[in-house]
């Protein structure tokens, strides 16, 4: 509910928004002597702070305005409205399951947009982070999805997603009939298609809608959504997704959102490896890290990994190297996504040797106990700060080949 003070604030925002449109128009104005009085003026030449213009007598605010300014103001308002069309937003009750590094900021943006969001997660730290952003924390899945128009899952793997949706105390057992279920986890393509079938059979609508853009994109509301499923269902929930998204792509039928995401993340893993190797080589060649990054991002070596995750401290604010590789996109998750991409390659008879090589590097990092560290910790394998038997063998084999050549 909005109290009296809140209503006053709404009226004040409405009033000042008109002023902001009015003040876009700058031009000559002429007072109307028949209506001149003392007091502040609302013509376009008036300062937003002082509310006075150049008129000797001025005008009472909202009571009178010079004719030229009034005409110009209405023209400017029409122009401003044409530039900034707004979609009418229908506020919804949303159940959110999975409040981790991505889920907390994504659900928090929905709260900020006015939606009623109830969230669930097993981890206390995740619950606290989401609660700090206004999410109502529930103790059970049943309470989280009760009365929800939309249910969103953001979970580590397809086994957990399936259990949360299809389990005896899961979403399908307690959600409102007809609710839309959106899975934004990154899972196996066949698993996603199976969920489309089971969720639909239970009387609900389903979209597989994984995202790209990382934690920074989740916080900024600039994620790319790749959506598989019925396009009419997507249009129904588009106003909800738009709050979290910079771009939304309908990629086709069931499972196609996951197909796009796995292909994209496979490419991310490969470009991350190239970026780590390039960063180490540039440093050993005596290049200044910031200068090299500046030139690479506007040259043919550019990539999202380079711009966002460059693994040299102090070069890119969003890079995990600045926080000792804590948080971010976990090594174990990239390893999982690469394995899923390789499985898709096998099912389509597609050779993916570069993806396999990066998956092997992720395996080495997991063996070294770095499964929960950001995957850009790969740079420590490249520069030799970390070592594993597999890495040592790979380096020795590479050097042997170069020497024989």
Note the pLDDT of residue 12: 43
**Same domain, residue pair 313 and 181:** no
**Same domain, residue pair 352 and 381:** yes
Domains in the chain, number:
3
Question: Which entry of 88, 261, 336, 380 is annotated as an active-site residue?
Answer: 261
Domain interval for residue 130: 93-254
Note the pLDDT of residue 76: 44
Cβ neighbours for 175, distance < 8 A, ≥ 6 positions apart: 95, 145, 146, 148, 151, 181, 204
Residue 243 domain flag: yes
Residue at which a domain ends, from 219, 254, 289 = 254
- Sign for the pseudo-dihedral over CA of 202, 207, 208, 213: negative
Q: Between the CA of residue 398 and those of 167, 186, 340, 392, what are the distances in Å?
A: 49, 34, 27, 10
Note the pLDDT of residue 69: 43
Q: Rounded CA gap, 176 and 142, in Å?
A: 10
**Same domain, residue pair 153 and 301:** no
Residue at which a domain ends, from 198, 222, 254 = 254
Which pTM was predicted?
0.73
Rounded mean pLDDT for each run of 10 residues along the chain, 405 residues in total: 43 40 35 40 38 40 41 41 44 96 97 98 97 97 97 96 95 96 96 97 97 93 98 97 98 98 97 98 98 98 97 96 94 96 97 98 97 97 85 58 56
- The answer to whether the CB of 212 falls within 8 A of the CB of 264 is yes
**Same domain, residue pair 29 and 114:** no
Tell which residue, 182, 194, 266, 191, has the closest CA to residue 225. 182
Indicate the burial class of 289 (C-beta count within 10 angstroms; 0-12, 13-18, 19 or more). middle
Q: Between the CA of residue 287 and those of 100, 281, 317, what are the distances in Å?
A: 38, 9, 20
Note the pLDDT of residue 404: 59
**Same domain, residue pair 129 and 224:** yes
Note the pLDDT of residue 89: 58
Residue 355 domain flag: yes
Q: Between the CA of residue 55 and those of 7, 23, 28, 32, 62, what are the distances in Å?
A: 33, 16, 12, 10, 16
Reading the block at residue 396, the tokens are: 């020795």
Residue at which a domain ends, from 214, 231, 254 = 254
**Same domain, residue pair 52 and 114:** no
**Same domain, residue pair 112 and 210:** yes
Active site residue 261: yes
**Same domain, residue pair 173 and 230:** yes
Q: Rounded CA gap, 141 and 144, in Å?
A: 5
**Same domain, residue pair 101 and 242:** yes
**Same domain, residue pair 71 and 104:** no
């Amino acid at each position: 509910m909005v109290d009296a003070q809140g209503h006053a604030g709404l009226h004040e925002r409405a009033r000042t928004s008109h002023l902001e449109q009015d003040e876009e128009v700058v031009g000559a104005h002429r007072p109307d002597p028949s209506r001149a009085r003392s007091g502040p003026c609302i013509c376009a030449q008036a300062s937003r702070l002082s509310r006075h213009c150049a008129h000797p007598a001025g005008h009472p605010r909202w009571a009178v305005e010079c004719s030229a300014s009034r005409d110009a103001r209405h023209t400017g308002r029409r122009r401003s409205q044409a530039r900034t069309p707004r979609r009418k937003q229908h506020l919804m009750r949303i159940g959110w399951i999975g409040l981790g590094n991505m889920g907390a900021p994504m659900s928090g943006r929905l709260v900020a947009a006015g939606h009623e969001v109830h969230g669930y997660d097993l981890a206390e730290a995740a619950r606290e982070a989401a609660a700090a952003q206004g999410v109502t924390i529930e103790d059970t899945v049943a309470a989280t999805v009760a009365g929800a128009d939309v249910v969103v899952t953001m979970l580590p793997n397809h086994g957990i997603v399936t259990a949360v949706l299809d389990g005896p105390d899961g979403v399908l057992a307690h959600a409102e009939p007809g609710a839309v279920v959106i899975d934004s986890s990154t899972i196996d393509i066949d698993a996603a298609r199976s969920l489309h079938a089971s969720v639909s059979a239970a009387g609900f609508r389903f979209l597989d809608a994984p995202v790209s853009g990382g934690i920074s994109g989740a916080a900024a509301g600039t994620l790319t959504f790749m959506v598989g499923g019925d396009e009419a269902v997507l249009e129904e929930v588009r106003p909800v997704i738009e709050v979290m998204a910079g771009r939304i792509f309908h990629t086709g039928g069931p499972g196609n959102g996951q197909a796009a995401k796995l292909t994209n993340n496979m490419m991310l893993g490969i470009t991350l490896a190239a970026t780590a190797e390039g960063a180490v080589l540039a440093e050993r060649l005596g290049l200044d890290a910031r200068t090299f990054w500046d030139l690479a991002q506007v040259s043919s070596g550019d990539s999202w990994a380079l711009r966002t995750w460059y693994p040299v401290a102090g070069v890119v604010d969003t890079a995990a190297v600045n926080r000792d590789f804590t948080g971010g996109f976990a090594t174990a998750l990239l390893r999982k996504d690469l394995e899923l991409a390789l499985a898709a390659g096998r099912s389509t008879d597609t050779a993916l040797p570069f993806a396999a090589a990066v998956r092997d590097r992720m395996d080495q990092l997991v063996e070294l106990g770095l499964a929960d560290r950001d995957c850009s910790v790969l740079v420590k394998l490249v520069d030799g700060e970390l070592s594993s038997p597999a890495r040592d063998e790979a380096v020795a084999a590479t050097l042997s080949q170069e020497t024989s050549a």
